[in-house]
Amino acid sequence: MQITKENSDNLNAVVKVNIDKSDYSEKVDKILKDYRKTANIPGFRKGHVPMGMIKRQYGQAVLADEVNKLIQESLNNYLTEEKLDILGNPIPKEQEDFSWDSDDYSFEFELGLAPEINIDFNNKKAITHYKISADKEMIDDQIKLIQRQFGKLVSQTEVKEGFTLVGKFTNEEEGIENETSFKLEDLKGKKNKTSFLGAKTGDTIQVNTKGLFEKEEQLATFLGLEEDKAKDLDVDVNFEITEINEEVPHELNQELFDKYTREEGKITSEEELKNFIKEQAAEQFVQHSDQQLLNDTTEYLLESTKFDLPTEFLQKWIQISGEKELTKEEAKEEFEKSEKGIRYQLIEAKIIKDNDIQVKPEEVKDMMKERIKMQMAQYGGASFSDEQMDQFANQMLSNQEEARKISEQVMSGKILDLLKEKLKLKEKEVSFKKFADEVYK
């Protein structure tokens, strides 16, 4: 067997694989002999079928299968040994005069070669790295939310502003019969709210569904309907009030501080609570800040790192590599959609290679454990031993798809840390509202 490569240019090459009869004949003969031993053909005893008949019946299929295996194995080995950095997979060239009746075969494959990439980390214009903090309004809103969260419901007999109503919506013709609860402020418009204000437990209020609630999706939820049916619904419904509750916020006292922090005496004043909320918010905002920095550094790298791609090859590869073969026009459109992603993958691979960035198994497990802790914190913050946390992490990482996602996140974090060191950044302290206005405008 002989394999040779000829470069068409810096981004395209053709690999030629020449296969002699001696490369495959022994293997093919062995398989055909094994077929002969087990072949069940009428008129012949098992194991006594003439070899000529076996060859006529199975020979070409076995030959094609073995030659294809030989091509794939030898081509993969060649690419590895030659350390060829290719894009996509080799594409076999069509051969109009090919025949399996020959003894020797020659196959050609098109290759798309990865371009040489030089990354410029000397950005003249500094990239903004946001430092997001909670402002006074956000902290005050969070305190109110905490007071409501740990507050209590006090039963009342008459509907007033801010109260919660519990009851049942009905409309026999529309098949509506749903027990639910909503706050008076969920209602839209003064007319709807006035219909309920002053009502008492046991009263039945009739209202129209059109424009009943502030948010359109609330109508389906409160009436127990599918969204499609609730959309543009314009009928009268009855609401029978079974309970009226006032939400009484918890006082700002030591009991509330201990409940919120789940630790006795950790916070002893309103000022300490505000600082605690601010610190928590800053930690949560780091993820937003880093994600935006990654977005901005990615855009810089894409704009500043110029290189050509084997466009024609990639379009051809996209055309034939999916479950369903695309037309040339479809493949071109798909390439144009994915070109930016392909370019960043190549830039990222260059950064990883040049800086020998590696992801260790223990780093993946540590990140998974942090994710588990965050999830637990949302549901009461249960405490587990290190051994139990290891078991949970191992169980989650046994899912290959989950393990791949976490590994990619660890790698992304390492790349971002490197970019923070190499690129010129300017820190900008902003509130979350200001951040959202600037970034998501």
SS3 180: strand
Architecture of domain 152-248: Roll (3.10)
The total number of residues shown for the chain amounts to 441
- pLDDT (tens, 9 = 90+) of the chain, 441 residues, equals 899 999 999 999 999 999 999 998 999 999 998 888 888 788 787 777 888 888 888 889 999 999 999 999 999 999 999 999 999 999 999 888 888 888 899 999 999 999 999 998 999 999 999 999 999 999 999 999 999 999 999 999 999 999 999 999 999 999 999 999 999 999 999 999 999 999 999 999 999 999 999 998 999 999 999 999 998 899 999 999 999 999 999 999 999 999 998 889 999 999 999 999 999 899 889 999 999 999 999 999 999 999 999 999 999 999 999 889 999 999 999 999 999 999 999 999 999 999 999 999 999 999 998 888 877 765 555 567 778 888 888 998 999 999 999 999 999 999 999 999 999 999 999 999 999 998 887
Cα separation, 252 vs 277, whole angstroms = 14
Q: Write down the pTM of the prediction.
A: 0.73
**Phi, then psi, of 180 in degrees rounded to 5:** -160, 180
Question: Do residues 169 and 182 touch, judged by C-beta distance below 8 A?
Answer: no
The structure tokens listed for 266 are: 């950790």
Burial environment of residue 223 by CB neighbours within 10 A (0 to 12, 13 to 18, 19 or more): buried
> Nearest-5° angle of CA 161, CA 167, CA 168?
135
C-alpha to C-alpha distances, 78 to 1, 85, 92, nearest whole angstrom: 12, 12, 15
Quickly tell me which residue has 């010129």 as its tokens. Answer: 424
- Any idea where the domains of the chain sit in the sequence? 2-113, 152-248, 280-439
Cα separation, 432 vs 187, whole angstroms = 29
Quickly tell me which residue has 């419901």 as its tokens. Answer: 153
Could you tell me how many helices (H) and strands (E) the chain has, helices first? 15, 11
Cα separation, 29 vs 58, whole angstroms = 11
Architecture of domain 2-113: 2-Layer Sandwich (3.30)
C-alpha to C-alpha distances, 298 to 225, 335, 376, nearest whole angstrom: 44, 19, 33
Q: Which sign does the torsion angle of CA 199, 200, 201, 206 carry?
A: negative
Q: For domain 280-439, say whether CATH 2.40.50 is its number.
A: no
